[in-house]
Amino acid sequence: MASQDRAKLGKQVSPDRDMGQLIKRLDMLDERLDNIDSIVTSLVERVMARPLLMEVTCPNCGQNVQINVTSGVRLRSKE
């Protein structure tokens, strides 16, 4: 009986703590999305500036596959 009461007390979480954890998780998600955005932006800028060559190895047969990504669009400079 006493162990059940302790288990119930351990599982109870205050609403302030829940809100704090939610805010912390949202901040972490926001930071991760910002990092992904930065990576994608830098990749796109690189592709727009010069060709990008990716080499991928097939996990089944071990053959190397080369993927060449280029752009035919010129970026305008900021004036």
Would you kindly state where each structural domain of the chain is located, as residue ranges? 2-69
In whole angstroms, what is the distance from residue 2 CA to residue 9 CA? 11
**Stronger pLDDT, 74 or 62, i.e. the higher one:** 62
The pTM of this model reads: 0.44
Query: How many Å apart are CA 17 and CA 22, to the nearest integer?
Result: 9
Condensed to tens digits (0 to 9), the pLDDT of residues 34-71 reads 999 988 888 877 767 777 788 889 888 989 988 887 76
- Whole-Å CA distances, 42 to 1, 23, 70: 60, 29, 15
Helix H or strand E encompassing 56:
strand 52-57
